[in-house]
Amino acid sequence: MKRYPHPLIAKEGWPYLFVMTGFSLLVTWAAGLVFAAPLWIVTLFVLQFFRDPAREIPENRDAVLSPADGRIVAVEKVKDPYLDRDSIKVSVFMNVFNVHSNRSPVDGEVMKIWYFPGKFVNADLDKASLENERNALWIRTGKGDVTCVQVAGLIARRILCYAKEGQQLSRGERYGFIRFGSRVDVYLPLESRILVGIGDKVHATESILAELK
């Protein structure tokens, strides 16, 4: 099933791409391609950073889908700091070459949203989950509660979340974006069946992190 109402280049990137393309064209016209080459390289980087390809949504309704592209850096039993419960945390680290569009891991209602200003330490470090700037969604499903947390990183300076309290999110639905390197933590019920391990590469929506029981 494919459900994707967004363009191939994320809407968040159009201002950056417009400015960089315009500046590159201007320098190319004024000074030549040799002098403009570094600017065109930056423009290509911006283009690849804000790419936002369509994704296939798995049919399994009990699946917890990856909310982001990247690499699994944590799978551990912890206390969910937002719902004050024992849980399993699965963390996805995004580097600057990953797609940074964030998508809902489950079907459910957004019960509450928390935003916390904070530090900008390397998002690959575990302490980033509680010390960095972050935005958390409490999503209630038919098989338990899921907490999905956008975490800013060393370079990331802007978390964008478009979800609202009371909103119904669908699996794979685009709800946010983090600019320039970051991480997403997913807190799951203890009885969830985890299907990924440390170091696994995952893709938003298409990769299954776990199954709710």
- Asked if 172 and 202 touch (Cβ cutoff 8 Å), the reply is no
- β strands within 40-84, DSSP E: 63-65, 70-80
What is the DSSP secondary structure assignment for residue 99, as one 8-state letter? -
Q: Compute CA 97 distance to the chain's CA centroid, rounded to the nearest angstrom.
A: 13
In the residue annotation, 182 being an active-site residue is answered as yes
- Asked if 186 and 146 touch (Cβ cutoff 8 Å), the reply is yes
- Of these residues, 87, 182, 192, 207, which one is catalytic? 182
CB atoms within 10 A of CB 33: 11
End-to-end, the C-alpha distance of the chain in Å comes to: 23
Q: Which residues are catalytic?
A: 182
